[in-house]
């Protein structure tokens, strides 16, 4: 598996999908240069196109990978319909392979967060910026 989605992150994405009545909602994660450690995680909720508009979509790019949450207790390897989805472009995937997408709730707020990134040598206190191993 290139990217793991924790049950907490999947649960929160499912809650947002239900609240917004939008089964096509997905979390887009990108890595860009910047932040206090050299690279930063940028996350946004997007609505994925369906049906005919999929090929000409400006939301999805040719190099995007889509990951769907598959609960551990399912016997099937295919994700259930409308399971939470995460989208990454190829450059971001290269820096996040082997990572986990989690959802954390702390006193200062709640957020989706990248954890256990094997390519990160250090990160900032809030977890949105990281430096890569040389």
Q: What is the pTM of this model?
A: 0.82
| CA distance linking residue 67 with residue 27, whole number of Å | 10
| CA distance linking residue 38 with residue 111, whole number of Å | 21
| CA distance linking residue 110 with residue 47, whole number of Å | 21
93 falls in which pLDDT band (50, 70, 90)?
A: very high
- C-alpha 42: how far from chain center: 10
pLDDT, one tens digit per residue, over 95-108 is 899 999 999 988 88
The helix/strand/coil state of 7 is helix
User: Has residue 81 got a pLDDT over 90?
Assistant: no
For residue 42, the surrounding DSSP H or E stretch is strand 39-47
pLDDT, one tens digit per residue, over 5-51 is 999 999 999 999 999 999 999 999 999 887 666 788 899 999 987 76
Q: What is the CATH number of domain 3-132?
A: 2.60.300.12
- Which structure tokens are listed for 67? 């990951």
């Amino acid at each position: 598996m290139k990217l793991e989605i924790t049950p907490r992150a999947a649960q929160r994405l499912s809650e947002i999908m239900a609240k917004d009545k939008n089964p096509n909602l997905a979390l887009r994660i990108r890595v860009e240069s910047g932040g206090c450690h050299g690279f930063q995680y940028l996350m946004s909720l997007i609505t994925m196109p369906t049906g005919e508009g999929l090929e000409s979509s400006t939301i999805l790019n040719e190099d995007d990978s889509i990951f769907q949450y598959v609960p551990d207790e399912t016997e099937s390897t295919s994700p259930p319909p409308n399971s939470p989805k995460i989208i990454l472009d190829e450059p971001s995937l290269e820096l996040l392979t082997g990572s986990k997408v989690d959802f954390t709730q702390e006193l200062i707020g709640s957020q989706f967060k990248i954890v256990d990134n094997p390519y990160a040598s250090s990160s900032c206190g809030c977890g949105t910026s990281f430096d890569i191993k040389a």
